[in-house]
Structure 1
Amino acid sequence: MTVIEVGSPKEERVVTETPIVRFEQVSKRYRLRYAVRDLTFSLPSGRIIGMIGANGSGKSTTLKLMAGLANPTSGRVWVYGQEVTRRISRVVSYLSDQDALYPFYTADELISFYAAVFPDFDVAKAREMLDFMQLLPRQRAGELSKGNLGRLKMVLALSRNAPLILMDEPLSGLDPLVRQSILKGLVSFVDLGRQTIVMSTHEVAEIEPLLDTAMLMADGRVVDVRDIDDLRSQDGLTLVDWMASKLAAPQNRR
């Protein structure tokens, strides 16, 4: 069994005693292949948590299990004290890695649509982020480049005041020259006193400056979890170096 308890957050962050996410012996199988196997871990609130690993390591499936978009083959998942079903979307904002927006809707129409569907959607915040991202409110989603579509999806996901924000490969499609500045700017709109971000990525070096905690996955299992500040101060390692050392030493997997 893989048992992971994430360490204490930075001093300025507020953490509740109840984990915002808890997995208990969770496995997910698609036909004969396990996407994730025997995951047991908990995540506290008020952090930016990076779920890192190569493509196919189980990151996206783990996020879908948190979002109620996939049912575990075995085990149980809780978010915000509730066992996860599709109704969990009331407290979870999910950014998919798929291009799943109505192509004929303008950005402004999508903001209105999200506001009608999600009571916690902050229209003023969405319009402020739209301006920050230099997106035109009357441009249709289907007319946007892949990078600008990714920007619009992030605006919509981060405009909800949900306790948990899940982001699957948020850097995908963004210009490498502006990825970090865009994501850092958008994250500044999130209230980490009341919200938690869990994002999956294989762009490890670019995401490191934003993270409080990293959870490394490989072959559908959790390899290790580390506090980023501890990794730098105690081990003198970058996130890339730590990831490489862990993946090169399978006996270190929990």
Structure 2
Amino acid sequence: MSAAGDTNAITPPEIRLRKGQTPLVCLTAYTTPIAKLVDRHCDIVLVGDSVGMVLHGLSSTLGVTLDMMIMHGKAVRRGLERALLVVDLPFGSYEEGPEQAFRNAARLMAEAGCAAVKLEGGESMAATIRFLTARGVPVMAHVGLTPQAVNTFGGYCVQGLGDDAERIRRDAGAVTEAGAFSVVLEKVPEPLAKAITAQIAIPTIGIGASPACDGQILVVDDILGMFTDFRPKFVKRYAELGSEAEAAIGTYAADVRDRRFPAAEHVYAAASRPGDFA
């Protein structure tokens, strides 16, 4: 396990320098075992507030708390050695103003051991991003569809269509100028993602924003087929572990009911020694 600041870990400045280079590989993680699996393959591992929906059964990300993010951030930190760890600031922990954002970002970095935080919003968050970066908090920005504002958007709708494209352009430019080291573009049309990627000096990380971006991010439970409550168009399944796990659990249940498990090889004989755990 490495801690934030270790020389082996990728840093925010290194991510910024990857603009226009080999695409950045990014995934979410919420637990130590998954962090260990993704670490060697990813440049960035994000503890997203999507944890509320994926692991806690919430209907949106709005009920996620700072304590939840710290808990899952600590778990992921224990599993990483190489990838840059970024943790989301949850809804209500930064919108009040730059001072609130710094207070909670500092706590998140100190307790979870992350090297950067992510927050949602464009022009409206530029002053906060500037305040944080000036005080040693690297920020990944997030524009386009921002899930914490889902009620404002009226659902998980594509953003930047028609005249609305200019708003997303301004947002991306504002977070770049404010000092963000990268920006997530979520659920925007390909031509807009391509234009923004060419326009700004920091890497764009797409989620439903086309291969034109400087990198891609998805929720790891989505690509593994573990989270199936809904499946956005931009998700590609690389495995169906959910159905495989259910089948395995069903087989176990049948073995127990039919007394096939435990079998002789799973049972300790009377001659077992005290403390024999093999």
Q: Fold conserved (TM > 0.5)? A: no
Structure number with greater CO (CA < 8 Å, separation at least 6) is: 1
Q: Tell me which protein shows more helix as a share of its residues.
A: 2
Q: Which has the larger radius of gyration?
A: 2
TM-score norm. by structure 2 comes to 0.34
